[in-house]
Amino acid sequence: MKSSLTEGVAPDQLPVAHEHQNEKNDGKQDGRLSLFRLLLKDRFATVSALILVFVGLTALVGPALMGDLATKQNLLFANKAPFTLAHGWEYFLGSDSLGRSMLARLVVASRTTLSVALPAVAVALFVGSLWGVWAGYHRGWRENVSMRIADVIMSFPSLLLAVVVLYVFSPSAANIVLILALTRIPIYLRTARAESAELQSRTFVDAARTFGAKPNAIIVRHVIPVVLPTLLTLATLEFCYVMLAESSLSFLGIGIQPPDVSWGLMVSQGRQYLQTAWWLSIFPGVAIVVTTIAANVLAAWLRIATDPAQRWRLALPRKRLIARIPAKEAKP
Amino acid sequence: MLIYLRKRIVSSALPLVVVIVGVFALARMTGNPASLYLPLNATQQMRDDFTARNGLDQPLLVQMADYFGGVLRLDFGQSLRTGQDAAAMALRAFPATLQLAATTMVLAVLLALVVGCWAALKPNGIADRISSFVSMAAASIPDFWLAIVGIWVFAITLGWLPTSGVSGAGAWVLPIATLLLRPFGVLVQIVRGSMVSALSEPYIKLARSRGAGELRVVTHHALRNAAAPALTVAGDLTVGLVNGAVVVETIFGWPGIGKLMIDSILQRDFAVLQAAVLLTAVAIFALNILIDMGYALLDARVRPVTVKA
Amino acid sequence: MTSSSKPPFPALLKWPALASVAMLGLSGCSVANSDAGAASSNTVRVVLGQEPPTLEACESNLTSTGVVVRSNVTEPLIERNPQSGELEPKLATEWKATTDTEWTLKLREGVTFQDGTPFNAEAAAFTIERAVNSKLGCNVEGYVFGDADLAVKAVDATTLTVTTPEPDPILPLRLSFLEVVPTSTSATEKVREPIGTGPYKIEKWDAGQKITLSSWDGYWGDKPAYAKAEYQWRSESSVRAAMITSGEADVAMGLSPDDNIGGLGVDYPNNETVALRLDANEAPLNDIRVRQAINYALDKEGIVNSLYQGKHQVAAQLVPEGIVGHNAELKGWPFDLDKAKSLVAEAKAAGVDTSAQISLVVRSAQFPKITELAQVLQEQLSQAGLNVKLKMLETSQHLTYQVRPFADDEGAVALMTQHGNQAGDAAFTVDQYMLSTGAQSYFGTPEFDAMIKKADAASGEERKKDFEEIFAYQNDKVVQFAHISHQTGIIGKAKSVNYTPNSSSGDELRVSEMTPAN
């Protein structure tokens, strides 16, 4: 397999793909290590990664630390302004319309938000990619039918589809995940199909075929590893989209329902207090924006880092980079 | 090209039918609208009358056959809510959304081309950093929230723009700005990316060595290559605009098809929902075909037959 | 590939430009270039929460329709004064019961419809036939008259008799819901833009954008101060408020206390009452102690003061002051958490499964701050030791819990209901909410049903007293409801308009009562 992949590119070109092989070998170690080093070289990507790790950790352990602070109401203590320690650390970010700690609610909401966004992206990525790769590899009617199905899903405004489906089945977190995943499958399906259709005519796939490898084996061993970096980059971008879609659902009153709380729901519920208590919707809004920007930056970085033709750029000092761009022939 | 076009149109017909069947079935699963349209103290007799009058007591398949029979005669049914012709309501709302979406997309593409090129001239330069931050932020803000903040700042505090409505040019600014942000943010990143690689191609070097000015190099040579991916993405983003339109039209009182669709769902106004979805789906299919053709025109290497197989 | 093989760049820029031109061309008539709604001193601009689905006169008991049509375009025979609760003459000048079941009405002379035809007994009879006895399925028929048909007879041009199958002491009140239309109105189809006898006629309805009414010269009464009324609609209350602040509208309906409209907001009692309706068919709500505990556990004062800035009033019954039958003696249940806890403990000791889940069913966006209120109620009931799950639903789903036949997939349900008695008589509340078979009632007792039947047939002081007793009895012996508050509505009003809203402003906004302030 290695030999067929090395056509014009270095063996360590696909670090992400290597993670999906269960064999322990040096290539994996190298790939990971150098990817990590590359990350440290880019300040913005590093900060973004740190932010995402922080958000992830908050979602993981934060709610336990907050105890019942996020649900404890005090009607006489409603809408207290933020940025003062006068009421104790838990009210540093102010209190909401029912006197609950904004800080605690933001922390608890981070878990709900991520537990909707991450599974939705993962499900769509998994189903869409496999389907797309399969369709693109086989081409013919399989490809045609798949693309028409994608057309059908894409031609129905996803927000409305979500509203209708969530009216039929109640708006629980699981259903929101499923419907968001369903509407985003075509994105992966199309990309994976295009890449896989291109690959299936390439020499190394041909070679594998002549040696009698089964289609599914070729897809798993030769096509998926090549396509995966693109799809993972796409997934990182989609993570932003899904978070925004979840907040739009809250605006339409059909997203996460109280007493559960997500950032999208907080922005949506806080909007009526914009003039009297701005922090109710600004803080969760900022949380969404910061998280999505971090994911965006990381996706942009990942796109370059996993592209063997561009990756060298990250390793260079900045000044030389600009000077050398026109000289490089960037065709794999 | 004509043969290709005909083939595309024929192959789009089936998905359209699937969309309508899906909407038809899903909508009816959301419950009988009788209680929404009758007084709270309506008797069972009144409910049954209502259900029968609107044909909702028939089995689903019979209802669907009736509906498709009607569609073939261009009869899309009547609105439960207003008693008007459903197709007429959808057609009346459609131009408002089309104008909004078209203006938004044209502006987004133009702005993204300018900003994306500017950023790509010096990768990792100040302009590049600023524009990527701005574009990422633009694509990350919840639209309904931005719309309300926009009204608060520009209509109430500053008094520059009307809060909402459709009267006068000023009323277009906030809805378009709200809708624009996401497509703009995504497109800037696409244009920048493809410009950076286009500018590193040998033919650019060649053009430069022939003494072409920087502006000419960018606009005449590199941009052409960079436009194709932007066009593809712009197509998908236009479809996504319908989602944005639902939110924006609701807030700004814009009488478009997004608002019509969400109202029809809330009010279980099945005929109007079906007509509006059908119209939107037709528009989206037409748009996809246009994009494929534009793509083929832009890039002679891609033969229409190979686009999306 | 050399640069010379590519078409010149301008072709690229043309594409979006061409597309935009083509799309704008395709879309035909432009929405945006319709006249810019310039404020003029003789036009009053009103912004509503939603576009009226229709202006059909026989559906004008629907809030969104009635707010435009009633008393502006069309008029009733008899009108209820929202302040005094008294019935007043409108198109009928006097009325009296001639027998047990027959009422005779004298009609106003010299009134014409906006199409020039005269108003007479024939038109009045036609209106009643059309709304109540026809197959049109008018909303007002179900709302006010039920299945009963009325026998109507035009005795002469100005005399009308109406006969009911059963004695009906409040028939004149019921008739006040009927807006009179001319005989030229279709009797087989609903009419979106009706003709009436009111001070304004419908000038133009730009679907989706606005409705314009203009003052009608042939009106029989005083000419209104404003020559035109323009209605627009925005679903976000903060946007409606902003339109007042920015001077784009003169009157805005249905604002929230947090829209921060300052001195431009006018409070008015809107006759709406919020309560929890408790389903006594399921444990643990089948035990009266648990239902009492719920009443004790709710801190009504705290809710009213902090959530609604003290503008609402703690409620002790389903109808506010001003409705015939309101019991002024009743006081809201005191907030006593300890008592609530001990009642729950008592019920538990008696074998009631107090840990069974109670679904708190609430309609999203039904009134301002309902989500907050729902969360407070859930919290307070949990404090009392009950297992409460909050369930926020949209209108259509909520209705399956609100009216018979009730959704029965759940255990015990505590449903948040917002009840507005538009009619001014407690019968409209009690028949629906308290009869054991009422459309919105979970249960009742035979004894209670008998009390209600008796009150329905009574009239005058006796009727008043009967209903007062009914409200007291519900709180003592039945406890189907945990009352929370009588609400206060907020109307946004620009300084340039003089208008005092009253309890019926939300259903019937009389433009003729508005005058320019200078």
Three-state helix/strand/coil letters over chain A: CHHHHCCCCCHHHCHHHHHCCCCCCHHHHHHHHHHHHHHHHCHHHHHHHHHHHHHHHHHHHHHHHHCCCCCCCCHHHCCCCCCCCCCCHHHCCCECCCCCEHHHHHHHHHHHHHHHHHHHHHHHHHHHHHHHHHHHHHCHHHHHHHHHHHHHHHCCCHHHHHHHHHHHCCCCHHHHHHHHHHHHHHHHHHHHHHHHHHHCCCHHHHHHHHCCCCHHHHHHHHHHHHHHHHHHHHHHHHHHHHHHHHHHHHHCCCCCCCCCCCHHHHHHHHHHHCCCCCHHHHHHHHHHHHHHHHHHHHHHHHHHHCCCCCCHHHHCCHHHHHHHHHHCCCCC
Packing angle between helix B257-266 and helix B86-121, nearest 10 degrees? 130
> A3 exposed, middle or buried (CB, 10 Å; 0-12, 13-18, 19+)?
exposed
Closest CA to C53 of C45, C64, C61: C64
B123/A322 CB distance under 8 A: yes
Distance from CA of B162 to the nearest CA of A (A): 18
C489 sits in which H/E element = strand C481-493
B199 sits in which H/E element = helix B170-199
Name the closest residue on chain B to residue C26, using Cα atoms: B95
- Say what the pLDDT of residue A31 is: 54
Do C414 and C437 sit in the same domain of this protein? Answer: yes
C46 sits in which H/E element = strand C43-48
Q: Could you give the number of structural domains in chain C?
A: 3
User: Residue-wise pLDDT tens for chain A (332 aa)?
Assistant: 333 332 333 333 333 333 334 444 444 445 555 677 777 777 788 888 999 999 999 988 888 888 787 788 888 887 888 887 777 777 888 888 888 888 889 999 999 999 999 999 999 999 998 898 888 888 788 888 888 888 788 877 888 888 888 888 888 889 999 999 998 998 888 888 888 877 777 777 777 777 777 777 777 777 787 788 778 878 888 888 898 888 888 888 888 888 889 998 998 888 888 888 888 888 998 999 899 888 888 887 877 777 666 666 665 554 444 433 333 333 33
Residue A286, chain B, CB below 8 Å: the answer is no
| Residue C81 main-chain phi, psi, to 5 deg | -75, 115
CA atoms lying within 13 Å on the CB side of residue A191: 25
Do C141 and C45 sit in the same domain of this protein? Answer: no
CA atoms lying within 13 Å on the CB side of residue C280: 20
Residue C455 lies in a domain: yes
A105 Cβ contact partners less than 8 Å away, ≥ 6 residues apart = A70, A96, A261, A266
C260/A269 CB distance under 8 A: no
- Say what the pLDDT of residue B307 is: 38
Interface of A with B in 36-65 (CB under 8 A): none
DSSP C5: G
Q: Which residue of C4, C5, C9, C54 is the best one to mutate when testing the B interface, meaning the one whose CB has the most B CBs within 10 A?
A: C9
Do C165 and C217 sit in the same domain of this protein? Answer: no
- Say what the pLDDT of residue B294 is: 75
Closest CA to C55 of C177, C182, C188, C196: C196
Q: Give the start-to-end residue ranges of the domains of chain B.
A: 96-266
Q: Does domain B96-266 have CATH number 1.10.3720.10?
A: yes
Do C204 and C286 sit in the same domain of this protein? Answer: no
Spatial separation of the C-alpha atoms in residues B212 and B209, rounded to whole Å: 7
Segment C437-460 mean pLDDT: 90
CA atoms lying within 13 Å on the CB side of residue A244: 28
Distance from CA of A140 to the nearest CA of B (A): 8
Q: Give the start-to-end residue ranges of the domains of chain A.
A: 38-70+83-330
Residues of B in contact with A240 (CB under 8 A): 139-140
Residue C29 lies in a domain: no
- Percentage, residues of chain C above pLDDT 70: 92
Residue C57 lies in a domain: no
Residue C471 lies in a domain: yes
The model's pLDDT over C256-284, given as tens digits with 9 standing for 90+, comes to 888 878 788 999 988 899 999 999 988 89
The model's pLDDT over A49-80, given as tens digits with 9 standing for 90+, comes to 999 999 999 988 888 888 787 788 888 887 88
Residue C194 lies in a domain: no
Residue type, position A125, single letter:
L
- Say what the pLDDT of residue A145 is: 85
Residue A25, chain C, CB below 8 Å: the answer is no
- Say what the pLDDT of residue A12 is: 34
| CATH assignment at residue C213 | 3.40.190.10
pLDDT at residue C32 tops 50: no
Segment C329-336 mean pLDDT: 92
Token pair of C73, please?
Answer: 């375009």
DSSP C118: B
B163/C27 CB distance under 8 A: no
Residues of C in contact with B104 (CB under 8 A): none
| CATH assignment at residue C459 | 3.10.105.10
Do C456 and C329 sit in the same domain of this protein? Answer: yes
The model's pLDDT over B259-281, given as tens digits with 9 standing for 90+, comes to 899 889 888 899 999 999 889 88
Packing angle between helix A263-270 and helix A102-138, nearest 10 degrees? 120
Token pair of A141, please?
Answer: 């009617």
Fold classification of A38-70+83-330 is MetI-like fold (1.10.3720)
Segment C446-457 mean pLDDT: 92
Distance from CA of C238 to the nearest CA of A (A): 7
- Say what the pLDDT of residue C111 is: 93
- Say what the pLDDT of residue C34 is: 39
Residue B127, chain A, CB below 8 Å: the answer is no
A242-268: burial string, b at 16+ Cβ within 10 Å, e else? bbbbbbbbbbbbbbbbbbebbbbbbbb
The model's pLDDT over B61-120, given as tens digits with 9 standing for 90+, comes to 898 888 888 888 888 888 888 888 999 999 999 999 999 998 999 899 889 888 888 888
Structural domain of C322 = 271-486
Residue C70 lies in a domain: no
